[in-house]
Amino acid sequence: MTPNSIHTEDKLLWQTFKRGDEDAFTTLYQRYVRVLYAYGKKLIADEETVEDMVQDLFIDLWQSRARLADVESPKFYLFRSLRRRIHKHQTGKLQNIQCWENVEEGIHPVSFPKEYEMIEAESFQKQKDDLNLWLKNLPVRQYEVLMLKFYQDFNHEEIAEILSINEQSVRNLLQRAVLKLRQLTISLLFTGLFLFF
Amino acid sequence: MSYYHYEVTDFLEDNDFRAWIYDPAPEKDLYWKDFLIRYPEKSEMISNAKSILLELKKDSENQFPTDQKVEDLLFNINSVKNKKRFFSIEIFSSSTALSIASAAMLILLLGWLIKPADNDKSITYEELISSAESPLNEKTNNSSKPLSFTLPDSSTVVLQPMSCISYCEDFEKNNKREIYLSGEAFFDVTKNPDRPFFVYSNELITKVLGTSFIVKAFDCEKQVEVEVKTGKVSVFTRNDPDAKLNQSNAELGGTIITPNQKVLFSREEIRIKKSLVESPEIIASSVLPAPMLKFQDKNVSQIFANLEQTYGIDIVYDEELFGSCLLTASFTNENLYDKIDLICKGIEANFEIVDARVVISGRGCHQE
């Protein structure tokens, strides 16, 4: 199925679900529960809390169906609802009340000694390992934006809404994440060339 | 489109590229293979970009719940989703805080019901009757049907199954009418301001002069509930410092509840919470105005005023915002909450029940 047809089908499912159709509701659930759960799990370590949140999200969705508006993207709606719940949960617990703008992003610097790279970078696999390491060590906010954009396919505007921040902050986070990647891949390239000659 | 100047990040940003990685299809493969043949120097970048995308995917999929978990969650959702929430109102507001709060309440409520009595401050029916000074008559309903009978003062009691009450043989002594209750009962009390009527149920005391009401107080449950049908009832706890005073005078102290209101007393938190009953009914009265059923371009404040009077409830809203809203609608046999819901839809507002009052919020109507 192409992304476009999924999109149209989602919209139809949403409309049918709003009229009280249980099958449409279950289909939406089956379609998105896994990615939502995985997303929640990335942000909250406690499995039970994530389960409760996902569960409540769908219960509330069903109970308020008559009052819901038609939406362009049910997936976006679900992600946004879940993210806001998580945000409430975290601020409610007085943890992580960090303003997005002020988050210290340099906590996990990813830099490899050049010599180390020269020696080790010969293998193709090694590069991939480095990239994965880069990904794993990204500050959680940058990782979240990266994941929402490249894996979940949301645009900047949608990500801004999901995270309740402005679009410029999304761009900044993305840029910072990608900047490190660029440095990393360029240095990998150079070592590649160096070894080649 | 030219990909020649693309870097890794540009590939990541590219929708077509991502579509090829996440959702491979033969025609896309063809395109990208052709691309790699023409620009072999890009193969490393493509490979890196691909590896990042696949890693993101793998990372997410690693956190996927098991199929069993997916089924379990769905089962939980389905078993709760059609039950009305706490206090039987479907409240929706754009703020999710409320829905989280009501879900939390539901969990709390379940907690009360499931957790065994472990509070040493709790008082059971047995303890109550053993502390009574004079011999008591006891009525127990072990059948499966409600049992109705008349008390010596000609008040009537409808005792629900699994419930029992006790009262003094000399019922009206000391100018007090006292009943000990375990379980659920409806009381229709004959009016006698000189002899207030008391219901002792667990830690809660309900005091009335003449009215009808329901008390639900099972020893095993974590909360006691009092609902008023007609008249006024005063409710207070045994450890209320004013309890003695409330018991001795003819005034109604403590928490006063009126028709369509109820109190929930949490036995663990020792806290009284006032709310509306599950389905408020129109109060039958000859002095009150008749409920409005049809209205055309009617001012919303008039409709609210009518609901307030006919149901004996409070509706709180911003007169400035909603005063100018006009509404055309007709009611048939909707219950109170459905009616309010309908009105709210008409004026694009939300409502919630706070402390036995209906609170309306929204942007209001502004005449252009």
**Domains held by chain B: number:** 3
Is B287 contained in some domain?
no
The residue in chain A having the minimum alpha-carbon distance to the alpha carbon of residue B97 is A88
* B86 and B146 belong to one structural domain: no
Among B9, B15, B63, select the one facing A182 at the smallest CB separation.
B9
Give per-10-residue mean pLDDT for chain B (368 aa). 72 86 82 80 79 86 89 89 51 43 48 43 73 78 85 86 84 80 86 81 79 80 80 77 64 73 78 78 68 80 84 83 81 83 85 83 70
Which residues 92-121 of A have a C-beta within 8 angstroms of B?
none
CB contact under 8 A, A151 and B12: no
* B305 and B226 belong to one structural domain: no
A64 vs B: CB within 8 A: yes
Is B69 contained in some domain?
yes
* B138 and B96 belong to one structural domain: no
Taking only the tens place, the pLDDT of each residue in B324-339 is 888 887 887 788 888 8
Q: Is the pTM of this model over 0.95?
A: no
* B177 and B110 belong to one structural domain: no
Give start and end residues of each alpha helix (H) in chain B. Answer: 8-13, 15-22, 26-38, 43-62, 67-81, 96-114, 125-130, 243-248, 300-311, 319-322, 336-346
Residues of chain B contacting A151 with CB distance shorter than 8 Å? 22, 53, 56-57, 60
Domains, in order of start, for chain A: 1-98 (1.10.1740.10), 112-197 (1.10.10.10)
* B272 and B139 belong to one structural domain: yes
**Secondary structure element (H or E) that encloses residue A59, with its range:** helix A47-63
C-alpha span between A36 and A83 (Å, rounded): 9
Q: For position B177, what pLDDT does the model report?
A: 85
CATH code: domain of residue B257: 2.60.120.1440
Residues of chain B contacting A88 with CB distance shorter than 8 Å? 96-97, 100
* B110 and B129 belong to one structural domain: no
Among B60, B61, B90, select the one facing A63 at the smallest CB separation.
B90
Of B243, B276, B309, which residue constitutes the final position of a domain? B276
Q: For position B119, what pLDDT does the model report?
A: 43
Is B217 contained in some domain?
yes
pLDDT lower than 70: segments of chain A: 1-3, 92-128, 184-197
* B163 and B248 belong to one structural domain: yes
CB contact under 8 A, B18 and A150: yes
* B131 and B85 belong to one structural domain: no
Which string of DSSP letters, residue by residue, matches B205-224? EEEESS-EEEEEE-TTSSEE
Domain that holds residue B322: 293-362
Is B120 contained in some domain?
no
Is B284 contained in some domain?
no
Residues of chain A contacting B63 with CB distance shorter than 8 Å? 37-38, 41-42
* B134 and B223 belong to one structural domain: yes
Q: For position A29, what pLDDT does the model report?
A: 94
**Gap from B56 CA to chain A (nearest CA, Å):** 6
CATH code: domain of residue B350: 3.55.50.30
How many Å separate Cα A66 from the centre of its chain?
Answer: 29
- If we measure between CA atoms, which residue out of A186, A178, A147 comes closest to residue A163? A147
C-alpha span between A172 and B330 (Å, rounded): 54
B100 vs A: CB within 8 A: yes
Which residues 39-78 of B have a C-beta within 8 angstroms of A?
44-45, 47-48, 51-53, 55-57, 59-65, 69-70, 73-74, 76-77
Taking only the tens place, the pLDDT of each residue in B147-166 is 888 888 888 888 888 888 88
Is B3 contained in some domain?
no
The residue in chain A having the minimum alpha-carbon distance to the alpha carbon of residue B17 is A150
Of B58, B91, B114, which residue constitutes the final position of a domain? B114
* B39 and B74 belong to one structural domain: yes
* B22 and B152 belong to one structural domain: no
Is B151 contained in some domain?
yes
Of B58, B89, B114, which residue constitutes the final position of a domain? B114
- How many inter-chain contacts (A to B, CB under 8 Å) are there? 121
CB contact under 8 A, A85 and B90: no
* B72 and B164 belong to one structural domain: no
B152: its two tokens:
């010596």
Residues of chain A contacting B22 with CB distance shorter than 8 Å? 151
Cβ atoms within 10 A of the Cβ of B304, count? 21
Taking only the tens place, the pLDDT of each residue in B52-68 is 888 888 888 888 999 99
**Gap from B180 CA to chain A (nearest CA, Å):** 40
Burial bucket for residue B185 (CB in 10 Å: 0-12, 13-18, 19+): buried
Residues of chain B contacting A85 with CB distance shorter than 8 Å? 96, 100
Complex-level ipTM beyond the 0.85 threshold: no
Is B316 contained in some domain?
yes
